[in-house]
A and B are shown apart, each in its own frame.
Chain A
Amino acid sequence: MTTIDHLNPPTGYMADNVVGFARALRAAGIPVGPGAVIDALNALQAIEIGNRADVYATLEAIFVKRHEHMLIFAQAFDLFFRAAEDWKHMLDSVPLPDHAKKKPPPASRRVQEALAQPSTREEAQHEQQQELKLSVSDKEILQKKDFAQMSAAEIAEVTRAIANMKLPQAELRTRRYRPDAKGLRLDMRRTLRSSLRTGGEIIDIRKLGRIEKPAPIVALLDISGSMSEYTRLFLHFLHAITDARKRVSVFLFGTRLTNVTRALRARDPDEALASCSSSVEDWAGGTRIATSLHSFNKLWGRRVLGQGAIVLLISDGLEREADAKLAFEMDRLHRSCRRLIWLNPLLRFGGFEAKAQGIKMMLPHVDEFRPVHNLTSMEGLIEALSAPPPPHHMSRIRSAA
């Protein structure tokens, strides 16, 4: 077995090709570091280039680290290394320019505008303002005002308020221990070590207590047309809590489901929202809640709902095609998470009744049904997130014990 020289990878046309290919992959959205390029060159040396499939498998093993990148890789590979008859040619074929694969086009202008211009409803806004101005100060008006009726300036104000929201650390006891004087478990290792100071006499007993961590949050946000006035603010809200906690996954759904967790990780909210909007193709269209929930349950449920996750379903529940499938998928979602909180902006209306078929189907399967249309209700939500789990979950745990 020959040893591989990690410091001096091979050079020449093959190196150019691999470097160019890595660039193409980066442009297509697969993160490829320089370390991986060196690995790839070494690996190609380790196999004898003579078989396209082997080269493919080799490069794939090194460049692809996520299942969802496999398709992109396959396309990029085919584009970059055109079906060459003889693989020996790879060594001296001319490298392609590095824009072999373009990034997906950013969201259309309509999307940009939909995001940039929160709509205002002049008359309603006027009326409500009149009503409230009699009794409360400006700040409180902002607290209670419906997001859908705010002017651009007020939206900016609210966005700032959201950014300053602090999530109390919701406690979820993990199965990991740390030194804790009030703990219940004996820490023999530290007890013994401290006993050595007194010549082996155990004087003080060291204890361990459980580490508590905030529960992971999974947000499913409806971005259909009927929700468009709220979408942007909810994204701000989700960005604010993503910043505060490590484990928040965010999915947007309209006619299809998109995972925007990574896009929301950018520090700057505007940057985060921009990269969100570029990854979603169906802003402000129709809703297909059942289909979206189905694909969430099938593709993501088991991957993000572990470790006692809380699910926030943010939707108005206005689904035309409400049938048994919707109830079934809601039920599955409910049974696979610790708590399912449904946030519905429609609840702002005093006389709100669940008349829509979809809402009736979904209601039996949620632990909590809350309004979320102004700052006050968002603050209420934050309190709810840190509350202990509802009683029926506790009883379920007890009966299992």
Chain B
Amino acid sequence: MSASALPKSVDGMLELLTSRGYLAERSLATVAYLSLRMGRPLFLEGEAGVGKTEIAKVLSAALGRKLIRLQCYEGLDVASAVYEWSSAAQMIAIRLAEAAGDTDREQLSSDIFAERFLIKRPLLQALEPDVAGAPVLLIDELDRADEAFEAYLLEILSDFQVTIPEFGTIRAPHPPIVIITSNRTREIHDALKRRCLYHWVDYPEAERELAIVKSRVPGISAKLSQQVVRFVQALRDQDFYKSPGVAETIDWATALTELDARSLTPQLVGDTLGALLKYQDDIARMQGDTLQKVLKDATSET
């Protein structure tokens, strides 16, 4: 896949995403386009399963860039996010130098802190030049990392360079396309958000969701896809602890087609509800009359 040029307008961005099967809201396409044009990180916040991570994958594929993903977790540190020295290889190098009779200390220290002993982690990889153009750097679920990492990230995102004390400064010739996602399990600091273009990714409207299901679940009947989307949209209006996201809708639609379903029945929904709702309290609420009512609305012919 050859690298394609950056889109020239919001419509261009929308086409680019649609051509890859990502049906984005126009507002999301606008923000994504601006983030490319202005060279600013894109900060996507929203409920789980609304397609935040997906857009990074789609963008990198559509632009023919390398995708570098950094999954955040608590305690993520420089050694696993940016770089690490390979101590084992260094120790071997020291022993070899000893065996060869090299006793020059200065020489030794510059030898063992050479680039070949450097293990590059995602953030450093993203700063490296790439023939296809600057890579897409996906920093996934930043809210899971702690504040200390966030502060470090802020530094990298401001000037796209990393200083390694024993080695020197590595600077990106072209800044990567940065996409940060957060599920809001913690509030991200304002300082970082200020550097970015912010977008809240919401659940899609029924019409868009139907188009997404049809494009993602090939072979689903028109009737079933309509019922599935109506049912899920009705669930989101209920006050659940965790409403189903688009990913869940696609999972459920896939599950139903695997079971060769033609249309929704109470039995079928009851058996497959685990693909949509992931909390026992929520599933318990969706029994009996509530289920019947929602199902009746979803399957009624209009």
Contact = CB atoms under 8 A, between A and B. Distances in A.
Interface of A: 1, 4, 31, 33, 35-36, 39, 42-43, 46-48, 53-54, 56-58, 60-62, 64-67, 70, 174-177, 188-189, 191-193, 195-197, 199-200, 246, 297-298, 302-304, 306-307, 328, 332
Contacts of B148: 176
A303 B182 CA distance: 11
Contact of A298 (B91, B97, B187, B241): B241
B186 A196 contact: no
Pairs of residues from A and B, 10 with the lowest C-beta to C-beta distance, nearest first: A175-B75, A188-B87, A200-B94, A57-B30, A57-B27, A61-B31, A65-B193, A61-B197, A196-B109, A306-B185
Contacts of B31: 57, 61
B186 A39 contact: no
A332 B103 CA distance: 65
A43 B94 contact: no
Interface in B180-235: 183-187, 190, 193-194, 196-200
Interface stretch (B6-14, B55-63, B265-273): B6-14
A54 B187 CA distance: 28
A47 B109 contact: no
B87 A47 contact: no
A303 B187 CA distance: 6
A46 B38 contact: yes
A1 B8 CA distance: 7
B108 A196 contact: yes
A302 B185 contact: yes
Nearest to B193: A65
A65 B9 contact: no
A288 B150 CA distance: 37
Contact of A307 (B26, B45, B74, B85): B74
Contacts of B45: 67
A176 B77 contact: yes
B26 A53 contact: yes
Given A176-B148, A189-B87, A304 B187 contact: yes
Interface in B1-53: 6, 8-10, 26-27, 30-31, 33-34, 37-38, 40, 45
Given A57-B27, A189-B87, A199 B103 contact: yes
20 contacts: A33-B194, A43-B37, A43-B38, A46-B38, A47-B34, A54-B26, A54-B30, A58-B30, A66-B193, A67-B184, A174-B146, A175-B74, A176-B148, A188-B85, A196-B105, A199-B108, A200-B108, A297-B241, A298-B239, A332-B241
Nearest to B183: A302
B112 interface: yes
B98 A307 contact: no
B30 A303 contact: no
A4 B194 contact: no
Contacts of B200: 67, 70
Interface string B148-192: 100000000000000000100000000000000001111100100
Given A192-B112, A196-B109, A304 B186 contact: yes
Contacts of A176: 75, 77, 146, 148
A55 to B, nearest CB: 9
Contact of A1 (B6, B143, B193): B6
A6 B30 CA distance: 20
Interface of B: 6, 8-10, 26-27, 30-31, 33-34, 37-38, 40, 45, 74-75, 77, 84-85, 87, 90-91, 94-95, 97-98, 103, 105, 108-109, 112, 143, 146-148, 166, 183-187, 190, 193-194, 196-200, 239, 241, 281
A36 B40 CA distance: 12
Contacts of B34: 43, 46-47, 58, 61-62
Nearest to B143: A306
Contacts of A64: 198
Contacts of B186: 303-304, 306-307
Contacts of B26: 53-54, 57
Nearest to B98: A200
Nearest to A328: B281
Nearest to A303: B184
Contacts of B30: 47, 54, 57-58, 61
A196 B199 CA distance: 50
A66 B193 CA distance: 9
Given A177-B77, A200-B108, A193 B166 contact: yes
B80 to A, nearest CB: 11
Nearest to B105: A199
Contacts of B183: 302
Contact of A65 (B8, B85, B91, B190): B190
A307 B38 contact: no
A298 B281 CA distance: 13
A302 B75 contact: no
Contacts of A199: 98, 103, 105, 108
B240 to A, nearest CB: 9
A193 B112 CA distance: 10
B194 A65 contact: yes
Nearest to A249: B187
A38 to B, nearest CB: 11
Contacts of B196: 65
B239 to A, nearest CB: 8
Nearest to A68: B200
Nearest to B194: A65
Given A61-B31, A176-B146, A54 B90 contact: no
A196 B147 CA distance: 34
Given A54-B30, A303-B187, A195 B75 contact: no
A177 B77 CA distance: 9
Nearest to A35: B194
A39 B196 CA distance: 11
B87 to A, nearest CB: 4
Nearest to B77: A176
A200 B184 CA distance: 47
B108 A47 contact: no
Contacts of B40: 39
B124 to A, nearest CB: 15
Given A189-B85, A200-B95, 19 more contacts: A43-B34, A47-B9, A60-B27, A61-B34, A61-B199, A66-B193, A67-B184, A67-B200, A174-B74, A176-B77, A177-B77, A191-B87, A192-B87, A197-B105, A199-B108, A246-B147, A298-B239, A298-B241, A302-B185
